[in-house]
Amino acid sequence: MTVTSNAAADFVSSVNDGDAERFMALFAADAVVDDNGRTFRGSDAIREWSDREIFAVNVTLEPVRTFDEGGDVVVRTKVDGDFDRTGLPDPLFIDQRIATTGDKIVSLTCRLAAD
């Protein structure tokens, strides 16, 4: 599947390429990540979160659906990697809601896909 938003496409490809620097360059300095109710504000917190929970465990994202929700792009992804899967559905689908200002991500919300 092709992801239509540049920011969303770059988000997916930077994760899949294991490119933490390119991933971080996508975010505004004051961006906020909400990962299933855990909030990470600003570049330092987002870097710590992504290093630990994306790049250290070799997360990969397979886009399966992209849709617009209130002006934000939501990319439903099938998520794989070397992380602890205890209590998680298999396969694991997560909706990545991406809000941008200009060419920077200002908000990323990650939730288990509802349907």
pLDDT at 1 over 80: no
**Whose CA is closest to 78, among 59, 95, 61?**
61
What integer pLDDT is reported at residue 2 of this predicted model? 43
What integer pLDDT is reported at residue 97 of this predicted model? 97
Q: How far apart are CA 30 and CA 108, in angstroms?
A: 12
Measured between alpha carbons, how far is residue 8 from residues 63, 72, 89, 92 in Å? 10, 10, 24, 19
Q: Which fold has domain 6-112?
A: Nuclear Transport Factor 2; Chain: A, (3.10.450)
What integer pLDDT is reported at residue 114 of this predicted model? 85
What integer pLDDT is reported at residue 6 of this predicted model? 87
Which whole number is the average pLDDT over 71-83? 96
